[in-house]
Amino acid sequence: MLQVQEIRTNKTAILEALKKRGGDYSINIEKALALDSRRKAIQTDLENLQAESNKISRTVGELFKSGQKEYASKIRARSSEIKMQTKQLSSDLEDCKIQLQEYLYKIPNVPNEKVPFGTSEEDNKEIYRGGKTPNSPSESNPHWELAKRYNLIDFDLGNKVTGSGFPIYIGKGAKLQRALVSFFLDRNTEAGYTEYQPPLLVNEASGYGTGQLPDKEGQMYYVGEDNLYLIPTSEVPITNIFRACILKKEDLPIKCTAFTPCFRREAGSYGAHVRGLNRLHQFDKVEIVRVEHPKKSHQALDEMVSQVKSLLEQLELKYRILLLCGSDLGFTSALTYDFEVFSATQKKWLEVSSVSNFETFQANRLKLRFRESDGKTYLAHTLNGSALALPRIVAALLENHQTKEGIKIPKALVPYTGFEWIY
């Protein structure tokens, strides 16, 4: 969430930067500024009345002491009026704050200066390509056929038990999942990230804190009786650990990693592009989250990008890194790099990670601050990234490492799987 004072001070620059997103946010910004002005006016009136009330209280006491009871009673009548006016102003102030918050929630994060203009994902800028080019057999198979042939994943059984988008992993398929989770967590902890095991459900405040609410409410599974949400990513509970905290400067950076199942109510569609593991309602993911000093957050973003690169290199997958354009940028992000792996059989790129710097956008919602050496408190910067999301990694591993003999496991993963081949 943007800070009102920042909007007021830099309105022209903010509106210009938001044009990169392709929408017009001027109306919401003007309404937010008008509501903030009204809030300040009500606050001033309220403070003036409270000051007058305090003055009357002191005067009435002095008048009673001096025996001027009749005059004291007249002044007390004004005190009753002030109480009624104060009650109304307090209610108006609360309503104004709620309305202001609602309009601020409608304004996305300001894109970083590095973010390119663009109207669709076609305008995302490829900045790097690396990894191992697949050497697939001439008659290669898509991962859903390989999964069936080697009894790794049963999509029909998952549909029977729950519904589409909830596959069941079997045998070496289940062990491959577990191996990838351990591999990612170990590599992240070796890089200085502390491992957490967070809850899979969060409250409404947590959803608002990281920006899933109200922007992505329709994509989250909701438990109505308890007013809780199943997490779409461990970013939500991990980042909210630091909600309403004032950290010491020396505490930064904070580096966290976590594995969780993730749940997303994505709109259903049909076709090869969502077949198999390409789009699921439940999937496993390992996440990295950082809380940083504002002066160091973009260096931290580069470090996170390097961390994800190293994971894909070790898995011997062909990948590319995209700098997202304004129209493809997430609502809460100031700058995002997407990682995509190449699907050898499907002949397309599959997104497996987004690494983002939210700058102060989440921290303002979370009231996440740190105390600088001057004694003042400032908003921290928050960042997160997938390291990595498993479904499409598994799809790419199966497809890109298939041979006539079977599927060869990347060397770095063998100590975790306990087997070199899937036959």
User: Annotated binding site for ATP, which residues?
Assistant: 264-266, 351-354
Q: Provide the Cα torsion 289, 290, 294, 296; round to 10°.
A: -120
In angstroms, the CA 303 to CA 292 distance is 12
Q: Which two tokens stand for residue 80?
A: 């009753």
Annotated binding site for L-serine, which residues?
A: 233, 264, 287, 384
**Which residues are CB-neighbours of 298 under 8 A, at least 6 positions away?**
335, 357
Q: What is the three-state SS of 366-404? A: HCCEEECCCCCEEECEEEEEEEEEHHHHHHHHHHHCECC
| φ/ψ (deg, to 5) at 262 | -125, 150
Annotated binding site, which residues?
A: 233, 264-266, 287, 351-354, 384
Q: Which two tokens stand for residue 104?
A: 């601020």
Q: Which run of H or of E encompasses 8?
A: helix 4-9
Q: How far is CA 183 from CA 147, 285, 378, 412, in A?
A: 21, 12, 36, 8
Q: Which two tokens stand for residue 138?
A: 């001439």
Nearest to 131 by CA among 281, 295, 352: 352
Q: Which two tokens stand for residue 394?
A: 């598994």
Per the document, the length of the chain is 423
Burial of 194 by CB count in 10 Å (0-12 exposed, 13-18 middle, 19+ buried)? Answer: exposed
In angstroms, the CA 125 to CA 322 distance is 5
Burial of 116 by CB count in 10 Å (0-12 exposed, 13-18 middle, 19+ buried)? Answer: middle
In angstroms, the CA 260 to CA 245 distance is 24
Could you check whether the bond before residue 214 is cis, i.e. omega within 30 degrees of 0?
Answer: yes
